[in-house]
Amino acid sequence: MRPVPLLALLLFLTASTPLLNAAKTLDIYFIDTEGGQATLIDAPSGQTLLIDTGFAGNSGRDADRIALAAKAAGVKKIDYLLITHHHSDHVGGVTSLLERLPVITFLDHGPSVEAGNQYDPPYATAFAKGSHQAVKPGDAIPIKGLDIKVLAAAGKFIEGPGEANPHCAGLKKAEGESGENPQSVAVLIQFGKFRFADLGDLLHNGEFALECPENKLGKVDVYLTAHHATHVPPKSVYGAAPRVIVMNNGARKGGLPSAWQLLRQSPGLADIWQLHFSVAGGKDANAPDAFIANIDERDQGQFIKVSASEDGSFTVFNQRNKYTKKY
């Protein structure tokens, strides 16, 4: 065999270096659970965080959709499962999920306030098979290469100074909020300059507590609508100035037209992406079809994927039509 000339070898290695050193992205899969939540975080390190599991029943529909997204990501286990709160559209699918993917560590805000401060038996049985921890504001979820901070849990909120938020002017707390939604775990996930906020099902007062009088979220690149946009959020959310909003609505759940209109006017917002076309929203309160993962009420459960780089740039991908946009 003839030896490879030294110059040719050096040129080959030089050309190959960018491929060998290509930076891995943070990939976020927003999985359609028909108005619940299941958000898969696939870190560059290979570790994973799944936020919520969707509904039970429907022949394991939501667990199947999570498993398909995990397969697309090359994920074979869930390192951390974070249950934001104990409602059926967030924790219901946990038993079916464990039939498809192993979970190493279970995280939540503590027992359900709607079940006598106890855990629902199916979930308690599930986390008995792994490690379990109740998180509190200020805690970090230890995934290598990411900074994941718990902002809210069990009705308590992170302390410390934030950014001045002029959009708090004139806002007040709402009356009558109770139950599990206000107990939701909220997290901020940061990868380099990229920042993603998921507030679970916090309602007006929870968002208000994080954003007023100072905004403890800071500016974010991607914001997942709190409580599926079933309520009109306080305008203090404008302080987060997201570049992209993802709405985890169903065809007939969430996507409230008045909430959509308020969010659409957020300063600096480029686009809203939706898991579903909102029947209530009609043509005036829905994103263009290219930005909606599921157009028909009876759908195939297509996901939205965000791929983020450390420099803060990211792309959003619609599984239904393969439409991709860079930010």
The pLDDT of residue 250 is: 96
The pLDDT of residue 22 is: 57
Confidence of residue 11 (pLDDT cuts 50, 70, 90): very low
Strands (E), the chain: 26-30, 39-42, 48-51, 78-82, 103-108, 131-134, 147-153, 156-157, 163-164, 186-191, 194-198, 214-215, 222-224, 244-247, 271-274, 304-308, 314-318, 324-326
Give the residues across from 147 on adjacent strands. 190
pTM reported for the whole predicted model = 0.93
Tokens of 138: 């200020």
Using CA atoms, how far residue 142 sits from 8, 57, 322, in Å, is 44, 32, 32
Kindly give, in sequence order, each residue whose CB lies less than 8 Å from that of residue 163, ignoring residues fewer than 6 positions away.
Answer: 214, 215, 218, 219, 239
- For 93-110, write each residue's pLDDT tens digit: 999 999 999 999 999 999
- For 276-306, write each residue's pLDDT tens digit: 999 999 999 999 999 999 999 988 899 999 9
The pLDDT of residue 5 is: 52
Cα–Cα dist 64/56, whole Å = 11
Which among 23, 21, 84, 25 has a CA at the least distance from the CA of 305?
25
Counting every residue written for the chain, the total comes to 327
- Look-up of token digits 């901070």: 149
Residue 129 vs residue 85, higher pLDDT:
85
| Domains along the sequence of the chain with CATH | 24-320 (3.60.15.10)
Cα 86–54–45 angle (5° rounding)?
100
The pLDDT of residue 298 is: 86
Which among 125, 109, 101 has a CA at the least distance from the CA of 42?
101
Cα–Cα dist 178/193, whole Å = 35
Amino acid sitting at position 213: P
Contact predicate 233/263, CB 8 Å: yes
